[in-house]
Structures are given as structure tokens and as C-alpha cells.
């Protein structure tokens, strides 16, 4: 009687199938992979990556606590493996126990422990700590660690590639200007700053350490004449470095440099980078100075934020008066005051916000600067803050300009969603300029129309602004 396999003409051999599966990858491909793996292992040995491997992260808290106990009990002894872990524990802190690097006395004691049973491999952990704390407020500890590392590098005679690299590049580890020399050298060699870790002989992952902050800034300073070509690369550098301090340091300088007509084409890129890396300049908290910032850095951050805010304001004025009003005269008038405008908000219906967001020049800034009103009526308001004043322009030609003092009881409240932009108007307010046959009288607050008379309206607006806002 024929079997099912005979009827279906299906003959399956598990043994044959298993044997064929073992040969599914060609021998040539297996040999190629083995050759490549062998090559990678040799490269790893040559660059000394093993010097940076550290598998004792779970031991750091244990060694840290043991070290703290040893300060009071000198009979506590450390194994060699624990001492290597100690080099990575200098930045560790927990509960109420202060980190070792933060105390000159504790750091000195730790270095003596390392000295008593010294191994050259300890240098990697110490340099890791050194570069992490490059901009620390504990300068005495940094100098103490610097001197210890320098002494050990001078006396090193081994053949480990990582430590040889440290010794050959010890000039870059000087707290006086080592980081600046590194940035300058890389620029002169016409190499990307991303190669800084490779030149030092440290892992690429260390690129986010504070040590590289001023190296990056120095690299920019040496290449600033090529900023139009370098700005994208510097953005990549900032993303890789991932430090708000460096972003504020560098981007502020770039903004100040680019605030010239010849850099108009690159300003949009810089705006986007600044917005992403630091934040909206309308939020002062985003642009606060960092700890240990120099007076020059503080001034540059403030100046950079003000310039960036001016750029964004100029674009909003351009778009608002083109799209919402299509009034060239009003646009030109307010563009002249863009540098004086500390902040602004646009109020209007949702569909106006959608129109503004379709303009790529301001799309990413609209959400933070547009407040929707309940009404769907196609009227919007542009609120400009200059000095002690809240100044309001409306998109409808029939609406007058309004000026309120910031501390005025007449000023409309913006603490709730407005029903319409009409909530920003106060019909009982006087005209901002009252004239008789001989004189013009300027009120602190009031309305002004955009109608020409004996004078064009721009002249009257200018007179009031100079007398009250800037007077």
C-alpha cells in the first residue's frame, strides 16, 4: 500500500535537511568574516581600547563608601582592583557623602593611596576625572590632580599605546591653556574638531566632557572667516558635545558675528540652531548665564539673545504686515524699531495662526508667540513690548494703534483667553497726541490713527515714540 509520501511525491529527510542547513553560509563568507574579526581585534589592540575598559561600575559605590570609612580608620586596606575603581570613584557622591574630588584633603589622601600601590593603568581613570572636572569651581583639587598626572606621565616608560598618547600630548592637559592649544592646533591642521578625542588618544565618548568646551570655541575662532561653510559642522559638533554651556558660549559668538548684511543668507540656519540648542530667546530662562561664566561671556550671551530676538521679530513683522495686513508703510515703520522690541505676541483666530505657520520663515516660532482668541473674525493684533510700554497694532485698517503703560490700570489683562482682539481696545482712552493751534501735547497713553493729515502718520508716531517711549 503506497504511503502518504509516495502519493504526494514528497520525500523529506530530517538528516539531509540538517546537514544542508549547516552549509547555508558559504565557506568563503565564513573565512572573510573571520579575517575581518581578526583585523578588528588587532586594531583594538593597537589603539589600546582595552585601557579604557572598566567593568567595575557596580563597585564604585562600594569602594567610595570604603574610602570614606578609611579616612577615620587607617587600618582599612585596598586591593589593587579597588584602587583602580577608586580612580573612577572620585566624582561619585551619595546620600550626605560629598564627592572626593570636592575636598582637597580627601583627594590628597586618595592620591597617596594610589601612590602606595601604583599601577600605570590608574592614569586612565585619573585623566577621566581630570577632563570631566575641567571647568570645576574646585580649582585647587584640579591643580592637585594635574600635578599628580603630569608627574606620572613624565616618569612613564611603558609601551601601552593609550598612555604613550597621553604622554606625547601632555601639553594639551595644562589647565592654563591646554584646551585652547588643542582647538587652535586642530584648526591649523585643517582637521574637524570632532577628531579632538582621537588626537588626545581618549575614547570618542569623552567628547561631551567640559574639557572640550573651550577647545570647540577656539576652533570656531580660528575658522570664523569660513562661518558660512562651518555652521552646519559646528551644529553637529554641538549635538555631539551636548552641553548647554558650550552651546551658549559658541552660538552667542556666532550670532554676534553673523549680525552683518553679508551673513544674511546664513542667519536662518543660525536661528534654527540657536532655537534648537538653547531655546526661544523670548524665554529669558533659556538664556541665563552659566556658573563660572566670565564677564565677557555674560555680555555675549545677553547680546546674542537680543540679536536673535531682533532677527525673529523682524521676520514676524515682515510676515504679519504682509500676510495679515499687506501694509508696506506700517511694516517699514516697525522694522526700524525691531532692535528695541524686547518681546512680542500675536493674538488672533486659529485660521490666522495656521496661515502664519505655513510660512517657513517663522513656522517654528509661531506656537510660542501666537495666542488664539475665541472669535473666528479675521482680525489679529500684534503686541509689541518696548521699555515700559505695551504697544498694539491691529490687522484691520479701521483700528487705531493703542499704547498702554505696562503698570497702567487701563492695560488689558492677558491672563485669560480673549474673546476677540477687541478686548485689547479701550474706547475711553484719549488720543496719544492732542493738538491745538500752536502746540502738540503728548499723553502717556492713548490712541493714534494711521491717517495722514498735515503730517504723515509716521511723523506723528515718531514724535510720540521719541517723547514718551524713548524719552
CB 251 within 8 A of CB 232: no
* pLDDT at residue 5 in the model: 56
Average pLDDT (337-342) is 93
CB 444 within 8 A of CB 411: no
Banded model confidence at residue 439, pLDDT cuts 50, 70, 90: confident
3-state secondary structure of 400: coil
What confidence tens digit (pLDDT) does each residue in 21-53 have?
555 566 556 656 766 666 565 555 544 555 555
Is pLDDT above 90 for 2? no
How distant, in Å, are the alpha carbons of 141, 318, 360, 365, 426 from that of 356?
54, 11, 9, 10, 27
Quick one: three-class SS letters along 167-232? HHCHHHHCCCCHHHHHHHHHHHCCCCHHHHHHHHCCCHHHHHCCHHHHHHHHHHHHHHHHHHHHHH
| Nearest partner of 315 among 275, 257, 375, judged by Cα | 275
Is pLDDT above 90 for 183? yes
Residue 248: partners with Cβ closer than 8 Å, 6 or more residues away: 278, 287, 289, 290, 297, 301, 304
Beta strands in 319-369 (DSSP E): 343-348
Out of 14-18, 69-73, 409-413, least confident range = 14-18
Q: What is the mean pLDDT of the chain?
A: 89
Indicate the pTM of the whole model: 0.80
Is pLDDT above 60 for 331? yes
Domain ranges of the chain: 4-44, 45-168, 326-469
* pLDDT at residue 233 in the model: 94
Out of 11-20, 65-74, 81-90, least confident range = 11-20
Locate 70 and state its grid cell: 578609611
Residue 106: partners with Cβ closer than 8 Å, 6 or more residues away: 67, 71, 98, 100
Banded model confidence at residue 75, pLDDT cuts 50, 70, 90: confident
* pLDDT at residue 19 in the model: 53
Task: State the Cα–Cα distance between residues 183 and 212, nearest whole angstrom.
Answer: 8
Locate 469 and state its grid cell: 517711549
* pLDDT at residue 47 in the model: 47
Is pLDDT above 80 for 6? no
Task: State the Cα–Cα distance between residues 358 and 346, nearest whole angstrom.
Answer: 15
3-state secondary structure of 255: helix
| Nearest partner of 316 among 284, 271, 258, 262, judged by Cα | 271
CB 256 within 8 A of CB 300: yes
CA gyration radius, the chain: 33
CB 330 within 8 A of CB 317: no
* pLDDT at residue 219 in the model: 97
Is pLDDT above 90 for 138? yes
* pLDDT at residue 398 in the model: 85
Is pLDDT above 90 for 437? no
Give the containing element (helix H, strand E) for 351. helix 350-357
Banded model confidence at residue 282, pLDDT cuts 50, 70, 90: confident
| Nearest partner of 217 among 130, 145, 285, 296, judged by Cα | 296
Banded model confidence at residue 20, pLDDT cuts 50, 70, 90: low
What confidence tens digit (pLDDT) does each residue in 105-135 have?
999 999 999 999 999 999 999 999 999 999 9
Task: State the Cα–Cα distance between residues 129 and 132, nearest whole angstrom.
Answer: 5
* pLDDT at residue 32 in the model: 64
3-state secondary structure of 254: helix
CB 183 within 8 A of CB 200: no
Task: State the Cα–Cα distance between residues 285 and 82, nearest whole angstrom.
Answer: 43
% of the chain with per-residue pLDDT over 90:
75
Residues written for the chain: 471
At what angle are helices 139-155 and 161-168 packed, to 10 degrees?
A: 110
Locate 298 and state its grid cell: 555674560
* pLDDT at residue 320 in the model: 92
Task: State the Cα–Cα distance between residues 285 and 433, nearest whole angstrom.
Answer: 38
Amino acid at each position: 500500500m503506497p504511503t502518504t509520501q509516495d502519493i504526494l511525491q514528497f520525500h523529506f529527510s530530517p538528516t539531509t535537511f540538517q546537514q544542508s542547513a549547516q552549509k547555508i553560509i558559504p565557506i568563503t563568507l565564513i573565512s572573510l568574516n573571520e579575517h575581518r574579526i581578526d583585523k578588528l581585534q588587532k586594531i583594538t589592540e593597537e589603539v589600546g581600547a582595552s585601557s579604557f575598559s572598566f567593568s567595575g561600575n557596580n563597585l564604585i559605590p562600594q569602594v567610595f563608601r570604603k574610602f570614606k570609612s578609611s579616612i577615620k580608620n587607617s587600618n582599612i586596606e585596598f586591593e589593587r582592583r579597588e584602587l583602580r575603581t577608586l580612580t573612577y570613584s572620585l566624582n561619585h557622591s551619595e546620600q550626605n557623602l560629598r564627592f572626593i574630588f570636592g575636598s582637597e584633603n580627601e583627594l590628597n589622601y586618595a592620591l597617596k593611596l594610589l601612590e602606595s600601590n601604583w599601577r600605570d593603568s590608574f592614569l586612565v581613570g585619573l585623566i577621566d576625572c581630570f577632563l570631566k572636572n575641567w571647568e570645576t569651581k574646585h580649582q585647587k583639587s584640579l591643580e592637585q590632580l594635574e600635578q599628580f598626572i603630569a608627574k606620572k606621565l613624565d616618569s612613564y616608560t611603558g609601551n601601552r599605546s593609550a598612555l604613550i598618547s597621553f604622554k606625547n600630548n601632555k601639553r594639551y592637559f595644562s589647565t592654563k591653556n591646554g584646551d585652547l592649544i588643542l582647538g587652535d592646533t586642530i584648526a591649523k591642521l585643517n582637521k574637524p574638531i570632532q577628531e579632538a578625542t582621537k588626537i588626545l588618544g581618549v575614547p570618542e565618548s569623552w567628547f561631551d566632557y567640559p574639557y572640550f568646551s573651550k577647545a570647540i570655541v577656539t576652533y570656531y575662532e580660528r575658522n570664523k572667516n569660513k562661518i558660512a561653510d562651518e555652521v552646519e559642522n559646528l551644529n553637529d559638533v554641538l549635538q555631539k558635545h551636548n552641553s548647554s554651556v558650550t552651546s551658549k558660549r559658541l552660538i552667542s559668538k556666532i550670532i554676534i558675528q553673523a549680525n552683518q548684511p553679508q551673513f544674511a543668507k546664513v542667519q536662518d540656519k543660525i536661528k534654527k540652531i540657536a532655537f534648537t540648542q538653547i531655546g526661544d530667546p523670548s524665554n529669558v530662562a533659556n538664556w541665563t548665564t552659566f556658573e563660572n561664566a566670565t564677564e565677557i561671556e555674560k555680555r555675549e550671551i545677553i547680546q546674542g539673545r537680543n540679536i536673535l530676538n531682533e532677527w525673529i521679530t523682524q521676520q514676524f513683522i515682515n510676515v504679519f504686515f504682509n500676510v495679515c495686513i499687506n501694509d508696506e508703510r506700517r511694516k517699514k515703520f516697525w522694522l526700524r524699531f525691531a532692535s528695541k522690541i524686547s518681546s512680542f505676541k500675536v493674538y488672533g483666530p486659529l485660521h490666522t495662526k495656521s496661515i502664519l505657520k505655513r510660512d517657513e520663515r517663522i513656522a517654528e516660532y509661531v506656537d510660542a508667540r501666537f495666542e488664539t482668541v475665541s472669535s473666528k473674525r479675521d482680525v489679529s493684533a500684534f503686541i509689541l513690548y518696548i521699555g515700559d510700554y505695551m504697544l498694539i497694532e491691529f490687522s484691520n485698517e479701521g483700528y487705531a494703534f493703542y499704547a498702554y503703560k505696562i503698570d497702567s490700570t487701563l492695560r488689558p489683562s492677558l491672563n485669560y483667553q480673549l474673546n476677540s482682539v477687541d478686548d485689547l481696545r479701550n474706547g475711553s482712552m484719549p488720543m496719544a497726541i492732542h493738538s491745538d493751534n500752536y502746540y502738540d501735547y503728548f499723553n502717556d497713553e492713548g490712541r493714534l490713527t494711521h491717517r495722514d493729515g498735515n503730517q504723515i502718520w509716521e511723523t506723528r508716531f515718531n514724535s510720540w515714540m521719541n517723547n514718551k517711549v524713548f524719552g
